[in-house]
């Protein structure tokens, strides 16, 4: 009884609680007065996981000690929302302590993975995922759940499963402790029974030919995607067979029978007679009948014109084409009788009425002396001459159609009668409305002065330079117009550039979107502007370039939000590329025999665009492991830093006998920084420490005490590089030059002392659109210091093989031990010359000439010792540089040496 009374009280109090809770107002729809004048004392953020609190506060424009301005707060919330990760943001003020601002956010749920559960079979997981509007790592859009389900059901129906039912269930937050805004999408698919084809009926065409393409058979699932592919293939086949307007489909499906309407329509066949210069295949490709789906008189005339045009391009201006068309039962036969006429060239081009040198005019012509005569190009040449005269200030020049006369059985002479008219010159250049940019700066950027030839291109370019000048200073809406006054005497023109600078704009806040792995700091430090700087599109372009160069983004899009208070907020929308990569390779070499490598690299360590990699290589004579680390900003400055650790175990073999000459184990650690002085000039400074153990040495290979036992080499390595190549992987123009020095000294606790220097210079020059001349020369000199006479074997120079003097075995040039093993030297010279000729888009041939040798010491260098080789290489372009196959022949072969050698590699030789 008592318990019953207690229960009643409990129920009553619970109801009262619910009533009170119901009566309590929801989160208000009223905006509290924000400018109570209370400065921000503290900012509390709730619900934030994916970005830092600082970034959110920066975007919201909340700053300690500042008073909140409602307009700025609204802008801030909108700006933060544009970040793309939030679905809700509220900013409120603590009632008790108005200085405390509370920011509540709810991030959008992201799909961690999509889990498919399929009852019944028939379609692949890839098909289901491709037809799902939600994607892994994308944001969840709950409002589209129903649409996603019905879209997928529709796709399955098209694939032959009309009874398929789809249920998509977003499954809660991730495991405890993880970001709660990650969900798993469970996609439950009940495929139901498939619709099977009982029979396929082809209507309108013989079945035999059609069934080569329409492959769906009785018993197959009625898959309309597959059917459509087959219909397209059949349509393509009909077109290739010269059917004029083939119709494949529509199709229908009833009671298990698939009806497909196929009407191939009429055909045409074309025959060519009398053609020798152009083949039937080339001429057939010019015919418009397939495209038009008909044969008509006007289309035959079009075909004749096209054939004539093709012949004229080949220098046959007197080409005649006579078509004969016969049609029967929808089939057409068109016979083209061709009278090619002679091949005509231009014997001479002359001019009358000119004061400029005739040679300079002829440079602008297509139909010049020796060219194939094509009357279709005369108007192009007239237009070129007119433009040339305009660029010289002859604005009124008249270039009428030239006189063309026969100068022989296969020659034409062309004469232009030109009226030059008055030459116009700039008499005065004025600027109006230039403030606030200093007049001197405007004049400097104009680059026009009285006395200059009146050239419309120069005058327009000057306008663009002025626009750029103002735009770079924040005047994004600047207008520049040009007034031309031709009323001056003797062709003197007065130019006035009218400048309307408009409002000055400034950079506002930066909003980075899409950096889910990359930290904001890694992006912001690449930016070239500060908040409050004059707004400039040029700066944005440079920033975009810098962000690309980080190597962690697949795409970078930079834009600005609509202006407020003469300020542009900038949006950097990035798409991150996959940071990890694995490289695996295997091969076989003449010297190494089997070889293989595996490499792992990650180019966005800690979200800071740092790169770490490990590469392992193994062959029958070598095992090597290299661990590398790259930091683009060292000590907070844009000073790229590299560190490398290497462990290597190698056996040097005699090339002929394959006996081991010596074995070597090396441990090397190096670290250094790189400084870019100009876009094309950089310097590098490294420190390197190596422990080298050489053992099992054949006596003749030993040159010094350093060649035996364990040796510590401690060295510094400064270098400088000048690089203006257009493409480092396959250059067509530019210069690559540089010098590298290596100093090992007891001062750095080295057990050996020496100085090495390697200097190189390479030049690349495109001679034609398909031919590049490449030349390279390298010199290396080394000298022992403080009692060291011979350098340790790992520091000596070696030459010969695929990247130096081809035709010779790898490292085989220069001094050798009594057993024939190369022992390297203290000096080398190598020079290479290549003519890189493209044959097709991806294939090229390279005749080459190589020269070089290695000498024991600097004093023993003899020019007559230089060894030469020549040969021919093949190049096949790939995304990582050309695949290279070189056949080298020794030109200064010595007794016992092979005649030639084939080398295979990736990348150009230099």
Partner 1 sequence: MPGIKHIRTIIAAAMIVLAAAGPLLAAGKEKTRILDRIVAFVNDDAILLSELNDRYELARKLAPDITRRQVLQTMINRKLLLFEARKIFPEPVSRDQALQEFTDLKIRAFIRIPEEAARNFYNENKKELGGVPFDSVKDRIERLLKEKEINRRLQAYLETLRGKADIKIFLENTPAIFH
Contacts with partner 1, residue ranges (CB under 8 A): 2, 5-6, 9-10, 12-14, 16-17, 20-21, 23-32, 34, 46-47, 68, 70, 73-74, 77-78, 81-82, 84, 86-96, 101-102, 104-106, 141-144, 147, 172-173, 180
Q: By C-beta, is 183 or 854 nearer to partner 1?
A: 183
Q: By C-beta, is 36 or 358 nearer to partner 1?
A: 36
Instruction: Give least dist CB 144 to partner 1, A.
Output: 7
β-pairing, 165-171 vs 567-576, is unpaired
> Tokens standing for 414?
């062309």
Q: By C-beta, is 86 or 535 nearer to partner 1?
A: 86
Phi, psi of 78 (to 5 degrees): -65, -40
Instruction: Give least dist CB 28 to partner 1, A.
Output: 6
Instruction: Give least dist CB 514 to partner 1, A.
Output: 12
Nearest Cα to Cα of residue 642 among 593, 606, 679, 675: 675
Instruction: Give least dist CB 559 to partner 1, A.
Output: 12
Nearest Cα to Cα of residue 796 among 821, 761, 833: 821
Q: By C-beta, is 94 or 207 nearer to partner 1?
A: 94
Q: By C-beta, is 145 or 775 nearer to partner 1?
A: 145
Instruction: Give least dist CB 621 to partner 1, A.
Output: 59
The rounded distance, in Å, linking the Cα atoms of 152 and 119 is: 15
Q: By C-beta, is 82 or 595 nearer to partner 1?
A: 82
Nearest Cα to Cα of residue 389 among 400, 378, 373: 400
Q: By C-beta, is 477 or 590 nearer to partner 1?
A: 477
Instruction: Give least dist CB 49 to partner 1, A.
Output: 10
Q: By C-beta, is 20 or 863 nearer to partner 1?
A: 20
Nearest Cα to Cα of residue 880 among 661, 471, 599: 599
In order, the DSSP letters of 265-309 are: --BEEEEEES-SSS-HHHHHTT--HHHHTS--HHHHHHHHHHHHH
Q: By C-beta, is 106 or 623 nearer to partner 1?
A: 106
Q: In terms of C-beta density within 10 A (0-12 exposed, 13-18 middle, 19 or more buried), how is residue 705 classed?
A: middle
At residue 234, the 3 state secondary structure works out as helix
Q: By C-beta, is 70 or 125 nearer to partner 1?
A: 70
Distances (CA, A) of 12 to 1, 5, 770: 17, 11, 93
Nearest Cα to Cα of residue 730 among 558, 879, 853: 879
Q: What is the maximum alpha-carbon separation in the chain?
A: 133
The rounded distance, in Å, linking the Cα atoms of 41 and 100 is: 6
81-90: long-range contacts at Cβ-Cβ below 8 A with a sequence spacing of 24 or more?
A: 82/511, 82/513, 82/561, 82/571, 83/51, 83/59, 83/511, 83/512, 83/513, 84/108, 84/139, 84/513, 84/514, 85/50, 85/51, 85/139, 89/60, 90/27
Cis bond leading into 769, ω under 30°?
no
Instruction: Give least dist CB 182 to partner 1, A.
Output: 10
Instruction: Give least dist CB 114 to partner 1, A.
Output: 18
Instruction: Give least dist CB 903 to partner 1, A.
Output: 55
Q: Spell out the alpha helix ranges (H) of 182-296.
A: 207-210, 224-240, 280-284, 289-292
Q: By C-beta, is 182 or 802 nearer to partner 1?
A: 182
> Tokens standing for 582?
């694995």
Yes or no: say if 781 and 746 are a contact pair by the CB < 8 Å rule. Answer: no
Instruction: Give least dist CB 562 to partner 1, A.
Output: 8
The rounded distance, in Å, linking the Cα atoms of 858 and 853 is: 12
Yes or no: say if 57 and 43 are a contact pair by the CB < 8 Å rule. Answer: yes
Q: By C-beta, is 10 or 677 nearer to partner 1?
A: 10
Q: By C-beta, is 88 or 225 nearer to partner 1?
A: 88
3-state secondary structure 314-331: CCCCCCEEEEEEEEECCE
- Rg (the chain; Cα; Å): 39
Instruction: Give least dist CB 504 to partner 1, A.
Output: 19
Instruction: Give least dist CB 95 to partner 1, A.
Output: 6
Q: By C-beta, is 3 or 840 nearer to partner 1?
A: 3
Instruction: Give least dist CB 90 to partner 1, A.
Output: 3
Distances (CA, A) of 118 to 185, 278, 347, 508: 14, 60, 78, 51
Instruction: Give least dist CB 45 to partner 1, A.
Output: 11
Instruction: Give least dist CB 571 to partner 1, A.
Output: 10
Q: By C-beta, is 172 or 596 nearer to partner 1?
A: 172
The rounded distance, in Å, linking the Cα atoms of 226 and 40 is: 64
At residue 367, the 3 state secondary structure works out as coil
Instruction: Give least dist CB 25 to partner 1, A.
Output: 6
The rounded distance, in Å, linking the Cα atoms of 816 and 398 is: 76
Q: By C-beta, is 77 or 426 nearer to partner 1?
A: 77
Instruction: Give least dist CB 161 to partner 1, A.
Output: 23
Beta strands in 785-879 (DSSP E): 827-838, 843-855, 867-876
Q: By C-beta, is 181 or 416 nearer to partner 1?
A: 181
β-pairing, 553-560 vs 567-576, is antiparallel
């Amino acid at each position: 009884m008592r318990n019953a009374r207690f229960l009643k009280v409990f129920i009553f109090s619970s109801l009262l609680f619910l009533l009170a809770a119901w009566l309590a107002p929801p989160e208000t729809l009223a905006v509290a007065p924000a400018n109570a004048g209370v400065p921000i004392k503290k900012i509390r953020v709730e619900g934030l996981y994916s970005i830092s609190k600082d970034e959110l506060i920066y975007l919201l424009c909340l700053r300690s000690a500042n008073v909140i301005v409602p307009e700025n707060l609204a802008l801030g919330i909108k700006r933060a929302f544009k970040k793309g990760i939030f679905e809700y943001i509220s900013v409120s003020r603590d009632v008790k302590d108005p200085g405390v601002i509370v920011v509540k956010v709810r991030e959008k749920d992201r799909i961690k993975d999509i889990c498919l559960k399929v009852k019944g079979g028939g379609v692949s997981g890839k098909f289901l995922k491709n037809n799902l509007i939600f994607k892994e790592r994308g944001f969840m859009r709950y409002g589209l759940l129903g649409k996603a389900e019905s879209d997928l059901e529709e796709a399955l129906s098209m694939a032959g499963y009309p009874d398929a039912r789809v249920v998509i269930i977003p499954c809660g937050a991730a495991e405890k402790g993880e970001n709660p805004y990650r969900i798993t999408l469970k996609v439950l698919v009940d495929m139901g029974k498939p619709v099977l084809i009982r029979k396929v009926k082809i209507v309108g065409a013989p079945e035999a030919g059609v069934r080569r393409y329409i492959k769906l058979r009785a018993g197959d699932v009625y898959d309309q995607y597959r059917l459509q592919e087959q219909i397209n293939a059949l349509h393509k086949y009909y077109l290739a067979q010269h059917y004029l307007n083939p119709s494949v489909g529509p199709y229908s499906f009833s009671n298990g029978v698939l009806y497909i309407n196929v009407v191939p329509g009429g055909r045409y066949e074309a025959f060519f007679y009398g053609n020798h210069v152009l083949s039937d295949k080339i001429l057939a490709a010019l015919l418009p009948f397939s495209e038009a789906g008909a044969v008509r008189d006007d289309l035959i005339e079009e075909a004749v014109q096209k054939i004539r045009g093709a012949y004229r391009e080949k220098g046959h201006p007197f080409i005649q084409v006579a078509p004969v068309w016969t049609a029967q039962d929808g089939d057409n036969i068109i016979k083209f009788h061709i009278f090619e006429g002679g091949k005509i060239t231009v014997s001479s081009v002359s001019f009358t009425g000119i004061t400029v040198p005739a040679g300079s005019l002829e440079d602008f012509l297509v139909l010049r002396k020796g060219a194939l005569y094509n009357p279709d190009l005369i108007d192009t040449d007239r237009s070129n001459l007119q433009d040339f005269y305009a660029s010289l200030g002859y604005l009124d020049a008249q270039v009428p159609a030239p006189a063309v006369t026969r100068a022989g059985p296969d020659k034409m002479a062309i004469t232009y009668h030109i009226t030059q008219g008055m030459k116009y010159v700039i008499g005065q250049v004025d600027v109006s409305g230039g403030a606030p940019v200093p007049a001197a700066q405007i004049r400097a950027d104009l680059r026009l002065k009285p006395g200059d030839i009146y050239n419309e291109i120069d005058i327009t370019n000057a306008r663009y330079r002025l626009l750029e000048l103002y735009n770079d200073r924040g005047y994004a809406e600047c207008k520049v117009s040009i007034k031309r006054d031709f009323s001056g005497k003797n062709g003197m023109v007065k130019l006035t550039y009218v400048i309307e600078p408009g409002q000055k704009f400034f950079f506002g806040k930066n909003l980075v979107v899409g950096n889910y792995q990359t930290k904001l700091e890694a992006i912001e430090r690449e930016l070239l502007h500060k908040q409050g700087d004059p707004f400039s599109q040029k700066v944005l372009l440079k920033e975009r370039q810098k962000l690309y160069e980080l190597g962690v983004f697949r795409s970078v899009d930079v834009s600005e939000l609509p202006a407020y208070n003469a300020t542009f907020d900038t949006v950097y929308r990035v798409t991150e590329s996959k940071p990890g990569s694995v490289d695996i390779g295997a091969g076989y070499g003449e010297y190494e025999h089997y070889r293989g490598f595996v490499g792992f690299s990650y180019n966005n360590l800690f979200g800071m665009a740092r790169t770490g990699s490990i590469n392992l290589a193994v062959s029958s004579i070598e095992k090597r492991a290299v661990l590398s680390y790259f930091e683009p900003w060292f000590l907070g400055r844009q000073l790229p830093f590299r560190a490398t650790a290497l462990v290597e175990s190698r056996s040097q073999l005699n090339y002929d006998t394959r006996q081991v000459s010596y074995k070597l184990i090396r441990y090397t650690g190096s670290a250094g920084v790189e400084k870019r002085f100009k876009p094309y000039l950089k310097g590098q400074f490294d420190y390197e420490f190596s422990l080298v153990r050489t053992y099992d040495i054949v006596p003749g290979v030993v040159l010094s005490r350093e060649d035996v036992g364990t040796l510590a080499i401690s060295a510094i390595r400064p270098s400088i590089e000048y690089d203006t190549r257009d493409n480092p992987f396959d250059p067509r123009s530019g210069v690559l030059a540089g010098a590298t020095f290596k100093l090992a000294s007891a001062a750095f606790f080295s057990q050996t002392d020496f100085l090495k220097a390697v200097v190189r210079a390479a030049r690349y020059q495109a001679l034609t659109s398909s031919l590049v001349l490449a030349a390279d020369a390298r010199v290396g000199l080394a000298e022992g210091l403080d009692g060291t006479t011979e350098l340790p074997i790992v520091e000596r120079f070696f030459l010969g093989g695929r990247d130096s003097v081809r035709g010779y075995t790898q490292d085989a040039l220069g001094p050798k031990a009594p057993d024939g093993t190369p022992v390297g030297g203290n000096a080398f010279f190598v020079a290479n010359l290549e003519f890189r000729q493209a044959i097709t888009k991806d294939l090229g041939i390279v005749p080459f000439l190589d020269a070089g040798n290695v000498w024991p010491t600097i004093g023993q260098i003899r020019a007559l010792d230089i060894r030469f080789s020549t040969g021919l290489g093949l190049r096949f372009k790939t995304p990582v540089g050309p695949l290279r196959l070189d056949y080298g022949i020794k030109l200064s072969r010595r007794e016992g040496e092979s005649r030639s050698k084939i080398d295979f590699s990736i990348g150009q030789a230099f």
